[in-house]
Amino acid sequence: MANIVGAITTSHVPAIGRAIAKNLQTDPYWKPFFDGWPPVHRWLENVKPDVAVVFYNDHGLNFFLDKMPTFAVGAAPEYPSTDEGWGIPQVPPFEGEQDLSWHLIESLVGDEFDVVSCQEMVVDHAITLPLALMYPSQAWPLKIVPVCINTVQFPLPSAKRCYALGEAVGRAVRAWKSDARVVVLGTGGLSHQLDGERAGFINKDFDLAFMESLLHDPRWATQFDSKQLVEKAGTQGIELLMWLAARAALGERVSAVQSYGGFTESRGVGTNLFNLGVAPSGRNVSETGIVAPAAEGVLAARFGSRSGSGRGPPSFSRSPRQRSSGTVRAARTIAKTMPESNGATLRTRPTPTTAPEPSVKVAP
């Protein structure tokens, strides 16, 4: 049976794509953001996932309003990256894992998630950017199965339903007759709004609470309906549904998290590392999951400007060793603040402990 090795969630800020295309990763303006990824790269190098199941939302590239599925699963041999209309560079196509696609479709429909299947599908920045951040060479070492959740047209699926979808995907992957190592991705968010007089809306408190909930209380956000989530997180912030589904796919085995995060002038960037208590492979807790949050509108704003160049280096702070209740065994937060930030950090609930040092090491 296939093995879920962990989950990565991240924002899919278009400006990141332009920075990658221009090789600005070490530019003082961009460096703090890209410096967050080497720990993810080391994890990927260690775990070597064969397949990524990607929860994402299409932005008017593959789907138009003529046919707008609530949930759609890709079943294509290949997923091309095509012109999105506003200049983001394209990337090499992704190879599809069709056997898993059809297994997922069979399993989900059997589970009463009546998904749309897509044998042709083009993918936009919600897939290309996270994969390009994970694999900067863009020589994709893994196949993908996209799972698209509608965030374009109301009614949207509820957070509760998306969580249940994620759980069903997790069950299906674990039942897939394969020895593949599968990573689950969730891309989008956090709070931002592009449209209306409320454009530019950000809710930092909500973002922090949501990130916290992914570790300690992953169903927390399912108490809100879609309109409440828009009110709290913005019309595009509701992309956090992807994070919920990805987190749900991990199941209850998450035993630890590492995170770093900071708030730029507009939104946060960071990485959380979820650890499984005992991974099915018998490997230790360092080979589990990662959540890399970076909010979109914020980063688009932050990185869309050159005003941040040349500021001081990012500061780091590290919380004490922590221990949490339940299945959460150990957690550490490495907080990384961006230039111009107010130093806000994303923290897990610290509880003094004498537990052994977690085996996870993430260099700042």
Provide the pairing of β-strand 268-276 with 289-291.
Answer: antiparallel
Examine the residue annotation and report whether 59 is marked as an active-site residue of this protein. no
Given a contact cutoff of 8 angstroms between Cβ atoms, the answer to whether 293 and 189 are in contact is yes
Check residue 302 for interaction with another protein (CB under 8 A).
yes
Tell me which stretch binds another protein (CB under 8 A): 108-116, 171-179, 283-291, 336-344: 336-344
Tell me which stretch binds another protein (CB under 8 A): 82-90, 111-119, 214-222, 313-321: 82-90
Provide the token pair at 180: 């593949």
Check residue 178 for interaction with another protein (CB under 8 A).
no
Cα-to-chain-centroid distance, residue 34: 15
How far apart (Å, rounded) are the C-alpha atoms in residues 54 and 117? 15
Check residue 20 for interaction with another protein (CB under 8 A).
no
Closer residue to another protein (CB): 106 or 205: 205
Render the burial of 168-188: b for 16+ CB within 10 Å, e for the rest. Answer: bbbebbeebebebbbbbbbbb
How far apart (Å, rounded) are the C-alpha atoms in residues 213 and 208? 9
How far apart (Å, rounded) are the C-alpha atoms in residues 318 and 316? 7
Check residue 89 for interaction with another protein (CB under 8 A).
no
Examine the residue annotation and report whether 125 is marked as an active-site residue of this protein. yes
How far apart (Å, rounded) are the C-alpha atoms in residues 135 and 105? 27
Q: For the chain, what percentages of helix, strand and coil (3-state, to nearest 5) are there? A: 30, 20, 50
| Closest by CA position to 300, among listed 90, 135, 129 | 129
Alpha helices (H) along 22-158: 31-34, 38-47, 98-110, 125-134
Which residues, other chains included, contact 23 with Cβ-Cβ below 8 Å and sequence gap of 6+? none
> DSSP string covering 166-220, please?
HHHHHHHHHHSSS--EEEEEEE--SS---SSTTTT---HHHHHHHHHHHHH-TTG
Check residue 193 for interaction with another protein (CB under 8 A).
yes
Question: Which one of 12, 59, 103, 125 is the catalytic residue?
Answer: 125
- The 102-141 contact track toward another protein, x by CB under 8 A, reads ----------------------------------------
Taking the CA of residue 45 as centre, how many other CA atoms within 13 Å lie in the half-sphere pointing to its CB?
A: 7
Closer residue to another protein (CB): 112 or 197: 197
- The 137-176 contact track toward another protein, x by CB under 8 A, reads ---------------xxxx---------------------
Tell me which stretch binds another protein (CB under 8 A): 28-36, 130-138, 225-233, 316-324: 225-233
Phi-psi region of 110 (alpha: psi -120 to 50; beta: other; left: phi over 0): alpha
Minimum separation from the CB atom of position 180 to another protein (A): 33
Among 16, 276, 300, 330, the residue binding another protein under the rule CB under 8 A is: 300
Check residue 33 for interaction with another protein (CB under 8 A).
no
Check residue 347 for interaction with another protein (CB under 8 A).
no
Among 1, 46, 48, 64, the residue binding another protein under the rule CB under 8 A is: 64
- The 244-283 contact track toward another protein, x by CB under 8 A, reads -------------------xxxxx----------------
Minimum separation from the CB atom of position 203 to another protein (A): 8
Give the Cβ contact number of residue 315 at 10 Å. Answer: 16
Tell me which stretch binds another protein (CB under 8 A): 76-84, 178-186, 275-283, 286-294: 76-84
Closer residue to another protein (CB): 26 or 223: 223
Closer residue to another protein (CB): 84 or 97: 84
| Closest by CA position to 94, among listed 54, 60, 64, 65 | 54
Return the amino acid letter for 44.
L
Closer residue to another protein (CB): 281 or 307: 307
Closer residue to another protein (CB): 245 or 295: 295
Check residue 340 for interaction with another protein (CB under 8 A).
yes
Residues that bind another protein (CB under 8 A): 14-15, 59-61, 64-66, 82-87, 152-155, 193-202, 204, 225, 227-228, 230-231, 235-236, 263-267, 297-298, 300-302, 304-305, 307, 340-342, 344
Give the residue numbers marked as catalytic. Answer: 125, 192
